[in-house]
Amino acid sequence: MTASSTPRRLLELAGLAALLGFAGAAAASNERATTSGAAIYRTGILSSGQPLQAEREGGIHVLGGAAACINCHRRSGLGMKEGRRTIPPIAGSYLFHPRAGTEDDLDLPFVEGMKGDRDPYTETTLPRAIRTGIGADGNPLSYLMPRYALDDAEMSELVAYLKTLSPGAVPGVTDTVLHFATIITPDADPVKRQGMLEVLEKFFADKNRFTRAISPRLRSSHRLMYQVNRHWELHVWQLTGSPDTWQAQLHAKLAAQPVFAVLSGLGGRTWEPVHRFCEQESLPCLFPNLDLPVVAERDFDSLYLSQGVLLEARLMSGELQAMRAKTPLRRVVQVYRVGDVGAAAAEALEDSLAEEGVTIVKKGLSAGRNLATAFRDVAPDDVLVLWLRADDVARLGAPPAGVSQVLISGQMSGLEQAPLPAQWRAVTSMTYPFDLPDKRRVRVDFPLGWFRIRQIPVVAQQVQVDTWLVCGIVSDTLNRMVDTFVRDYLVERVEETLEHRAVTGYYPRLALAPGQRFASKGGYVVRFAGPSGAHVVADGDWIVP
């Protein structure tokens, strides 16, 4: 198992340590220790460059990334719950807090597995626990806890880092308000934008309807957890200009208005600068509405509902390989608009077929160029792949003579609402990275009823239902976190609990786990049932390509 941290972060920490050097040698040395400790914790690499070594019961040896603390105690240091097993928090404040007479005396945010009735760890007992597996109370720790071979300097580095993990004041969280942002890129579809914002605004208004103006600060008591009912405030971060300016805009917006997390959002051709911004700021960026998310599974802060058109490219690749098993596949012609997300999808499909001996032709049309130009030299036994939006699909005209196999992206063209002309329907299969309309009806009726009661016009159903779904996921997760507002912990809790959701909107199932960044992993291949209308029929079962 590799730790999900990136070396870049450690370099940033190192850079920070270098800057702080001006503040004095002691501070700098402390920062250096913390940086080395972070490397041990997150990647299992010692400051000597050697891998961290440890041993478990039964002589089982663990090494490097597999031995890193982050695997079980998570990036937040707040531990996790796995079935009946609870991995305790090891953030400094949870290790060193004085023994509490009652849980009421325990002035720490509630985390599963925290222990109030235990002697605090000391400079002696903590290294002993890490090296020999004997806890502060003298009892052995769980069999899951390895016994680490760390020298004194390495131990101090690790302990220095554990101390920095303690939850403290979090930007974007006050005693009375939780601040969220939603990010919209300038090239986002204006209709989807309006639809998404209406859902977000109504959800926040609902959430705040019962919030008192000022809540007193409450604490957990005897496991009856009183939660401060904070007002939820939404900040719409509308980006402008070209993508290379977005990161700077976002850093400025965050500095002007700190937020706890980024919720939903809407992108167009690229989301990369937003993804990078969230990683740099360690800011959770939860489930934006995108056709083309950023695939970087070693990154931490961004979670996505699915891989969008990249998932469709894999579904198409599977279809093409199945076709090829039956009949020779001479050539695949992919048509997309230059500058739209279809370009990246076409490239992904081409890459996936690189070793299959299939000729792939990519026809990228610049905006405004007539679609017919892409079909001029298409031969009858070519397979056509269309990465086109609804407006292009409506203007397709007649299919090229003799073509009998066409694949189209449902995500881009509007799913069952795609205005695919009748002549194309007989020869076209659509990748459909959602549950089928009949199967999702009950799950989608609930948000649609919610929209109706609140008089939200349904202008972009899938985006609006996804937005509502994401608000629910974040709201439920925060409720379970009580008042432990730690950004990494929010991401970790979503990873661990998403699978329990029964209400999953357009998706048959949503699930994540440590290191997983895409919640829905499959789709269908469908065909239109008739020459008109929005009835689609699946060619087979749910496919996870």
Partner 1 sequence: MGVRHSCLAAFAASCALALSAQASPAVTRSTVEYAVPAVTLVRDDGKRVSLPQEMDDGRPVVLNFVFTSCSSICPLMSQVFGEFRRKLGSDAGQVHLMSISTDPEQDTPTRLSEYARQFGAGADWQHYTGTLQASLTAQRAFDVYRGDKMSHAPVTLMRAAPGKPWRRIDGFVTPDELLDEYRQVLAAK
Q: Note the residues at the interface with partner 1 (CB under 8 A).
A: 1, 56-60, 62, 66, 71-72, 80-87, 113, 135, 139-144, 496, 499-500, 509, 511, 513-516, 521-522, 541-542, 544
Q: How far is the CB of 455 from partner 1 (least distance, A)?
A: 37
Minimum distance from residue 217 beta carbon to partner 1 (Å)? 30
Minimum distance, C-beta of residue 349 to partner 1, in the bound complex (Å)? 17
Q: Output 83 or 368, the one with its CB closest to partner 1.
A: 83
Strands across the sheet containing 302-303: 231-238, 177-184, 261-263, 285-286, 302-303
| Nearer of residues 212 and 223 to partner 1, judged by Cβ | 223
For residue 214, with 0-12 CB atoms within 10 Å meaning exposed, 13-18 middle and 19 or more buried, which class applies? exposed
Rounded-to-integer distance, Cα 264 and Cα 278, Å: 13
Closer of 274 and 481 to partner 1 (Cβ) = 481
Which of 299/483 has CB closer to partner 1?
Answer: 299
Cβ nearer to partner 1, comparing 61 with 395: 61
Mutual angle of helices 309-326 and 342-352, in 10-degree steps: 40
Backbone angles phi, psi at 91, to 5 degrees: -60, 145
Euclidean distance between CA atoms 126 and 159, whole angstroms: 8
Least distance between partner 1 and beta carbon 142 (Å): 7
SS3 labels along 176-224: CEEEEEEEECCCCCHHHHHHHHHHHHHHHHHHHCCCCCCCCCCCEECCE
Q: Which of 495, 544, 77 is nearest to 297 (CA)?
A: 495
Residue count of the chain = 545
Supply the minimum distance, in Å, between the C-beta of residue 535 and partner 1: 26
Nearest distance from residue 330's CB to partner 1, in Å?
26
Based on CB atoms, which residue is closest to partner 1, 419 or 515? 515
Q: Which is nearer to partner 1, 421 or 515 (CB)?
A: 515
Cβ distance to partner 1 smaller for residue 118 or 207: 118
Q: Residue 431 corresponds to which tokens in the numbers above?
A: 């990748």
Rounded least distance, CB 300 to partner 1, Å: 13
Q: Is 489 helix (H, G, I), strand (E, B) or coil?
A: helix
Which tokens is 480 given? Answer: 């379970």
Contact status, residue 99 vs residue 31, Cβ threshold 8 Å: no
As a dihedral over the C-alpha atoms of residue 387, residue 390, residue 395, residue 399, rounded to 10 degrees, the angle is: 40
What lies within 8 Å, CB to CB, of 31 at 6+ separation is 13, 16, 17, 20, 21
Closer residue to partner 1 (CB): 99 or 276: 99
- Our measurement of the distance from residue 368's CA atom to the centroid of its chain's CA atoms, rounded to an integer in Å, reads 35
Residue 171 CB, nearest approach to partner 1 (Å): 28
387 beta partners: 336
Work out how close the CB of 519 gets to partner 1 at its nearest, in angstroms, rounded to a whole number.
Answer: 10
Query: H/E/C letters for each residue in 404-420?
Result: CEEEEEHHHHCHHHCCC
Cα gap 64→42, rounded to integer Å: 10
Give the nearest distance from C-beta 354 to partner 1 in angstroms.
15
Q: In the complex with partner 1, which residue's Cβ is closer, 141 or 482? A: 141
